[in-house]
Amino acid sequence: MEKLEQYLKEQISFLSAKEHNELVSRLANLISVYPFNQYEFIISTLLGLDKLSTDDYYTLRDDYIGRNMFLYLYEISAPRGFGEKWAQGHLKELVPQLEKPSKLKDPNYSGEYDFLLDKKIKIEVKASRAVDLDSNEPLYIKALSSNSKKRFDMNFQQIKPYCCDVFIWIAVWRDLIKYWVLSSNEVLNDKNFSSGQHRGNENEGQLHINERNINQYNKYLSPPDKLLRALRRAYKRQINIMENKKM
């Protein structure tokens, strides 16, 4: 959004005094109703004044879409709609081998994890979006790009390390999606993991990822086409840790 705003400001600066004043006056009193907003108004005005060619518009549009491929995910307002419906569906598309658990597959299952892999690996999915920590604007306005220098905070909540073998955290920026795959023991012993998220909830906590600590998790990153391998490797690490504890 910042690049689009800067580009439009530059184009407005080339207008004549009369055109500039008229545009600024109209913007000051503009009423926006989706999909007609200030950006649509400025662009259509520049096109009408021949200050922006059709080819320029197509380039502007393509560049913007390329920088904001996942902006639509910030428009999902309901936490369950994003964290459960989208995130789990997205992961299932990437790893078709994942199965939804049930009492038939796991007699002890009671909704405490999201997927079952290889009939034994219990997987919990958490998702969060990067937003400007210092902004009070709507979610889609304060959405950040992956190269932003602004402060952000991703809060992965209701983490229950004792209820699964492997965690996959899905982090969304307006132009990028990252995937971290960790064993439950790695989460439990992470220095950023805070247990006791809610009073009375035992064995449950949360973990914040921000601009200060995000690089600590680079070793857990996985490309989307290697997630199946990453999940199995994280499970192997979990099993090794559990076996060492028994010794």
Mean pLDDT by 10 residues, the chain (247 residues): 80 89 88 80 92 92 89 86 91 97 92 95 96 91 92 92 96 96 95 71 83 96 98 96 74
What pTM value is reported for the model? 0.81
Using the 8-state DSSP alphabet, how is residue 138 labeled? -
Q: What is the CATH number of domain 71-246?
A: 3.40.1350
pLDDT of residue 7: 81
- Provide the angle, in degrees to the nearest 10, between the axes of the packed helices 2-13 and 54-67: 160
Residue with tokens 């992956």: 146
Cβ atoms within 10 Å, residue 128: 21
pLDDT of residue 241: 82
Ranges for all domains in the chain classified under CATH 3.40.1350: 71-246
pLDDT of residue 37: 84
pLDDT of residue 3: 79
Q: Provide the sign of the torsion angle of the four alpha carbons 48, 50, 51, 53, taken in this order.
A: positive
Choose among 130, 153, 158: nearest CA to 143.
Answer: 130
DSSP H helical segments within the chain, as ranges? 2-13, 17-28, 38-48, 54-67, 79-80, 87-94, 184-188, 227-246
